Amino acid sequence: MPALRNAGLYINLLNDFLDLFYPRVCISCNTALMKNEQFICYTCQYHLPKANFHKNLEDSIIRKKLLGRVPVFGSAAYYLFSKKTGVQNILHHIKYKQGKELANKIGYWMGEELLQTDWFKTIDGLIPIPLHPQKQLERGYNQSEEYCKGIQKTTDKSILPILSKNIYTKTQTKKKRYERWENVKDNFILNSDISTLQHIALVDDVMTTGATFEAAHNTLISNGYRGKISIITIAIATHLI
């Protein structure tokens, strides 16, 4: 198929040409990417701090953070997050710069890791933490759902987008603006009956205090869910432990 081969050659030439004027750079360290690198350079991929507790749950920072608040079965995070690091650049890109594909890619890598654990095998579905509808409209995607899609590529687990934000409740109208926001930000609604499921994973981009997971957990429990809950994030904040 010489015509196809020629088309491939032209595409390569075009990419080289574009790289010359619009160099693709590593989202973590901002240096130019090599031809085979995508989003994150090999050096950063190797050196960025990985959370790595999915195989040894006794060391899970997610579990430690939620101790006494939420019973966590399995847990996993791809990166350890601290400010002014490449991981912060990655999270920023995913949130504000059309980082849909990157969230998906990290999900793919996380999925490869998760396949090596026993606790992940029994998961019936991945539940992405929802965004505020207005925010989702502006951004055009929910990064947690994109992360789920990447995990799904490697693990074939179902994605259950069944949580939504509860943005209008009667009691909030009387509250002051800040209190109202505090009340709203982690208030969820479950849109489907999952009481027959045995094991689900809540999935978010980054965990800092754990308040979001606590609220999501409470929503599931108050709606009759009695199965196991695991937690998977792109990154876990190492401060505030």
CA angle 102, 103, 106 (to 5 degrees): 85
According to the binding rule CB under 5 A, does residue 41 interact with Zn ion? Answer: yes
According to the binding rule CB under 5 A, does residue 29 interact with Zn ion? Answer: yes
According to the binding rule CB under 5 A, does residue 184 interact with Zn ion? Answer: no
According to the binding rule CB under 5 A, does residue 26 interact with Zn ion? Answer: yes
Sign (positive or negative) of CA dihedral 68, 185, 239, 113: positive
Stretch in the footprint of Zn ion (CB under 5 A) among 33-41, 66-74, 117-125, 130-138: 33-41
Q: How many residues at the interface with Zn ion, by CB under 5 A? A: 5
Stretch in the footprint of Zn ion (CB under 5 A) among 1-9, 41-49, 166-174, 191-199: 41-49
CB of 74 to Zn ion, least distance (A): 30
Instruction: Give the C-alpha separation, 236 to 91, whole Å.
Output: 11
According to the binding rule CB under 5 A, does residue 87 interact with Zn ion? Answer: no
According to the binding rule CB under 5 A, does residue 44 interact with Zn ion? Answer: yes
Contact between 164 and 238 under an 8 Å Cβ cutoff? The reply is: no
Burial 8-27 (b: 16+ CB within 10 A, else e): eeeeeeeeeeeeeeeeeebb
Find the length of the chain.
Answer: 241
Sheet with 125-128, side-by-side order of all strands: 75-81, 228-237, 199-207, 125-128
Q: Contact letters (x/-) for Zn ion, 221-240, by CB under 5 A?
A: --------------------
Residues that bind Zn ion (CB under 5 A): 26, 28-29, 41, 44
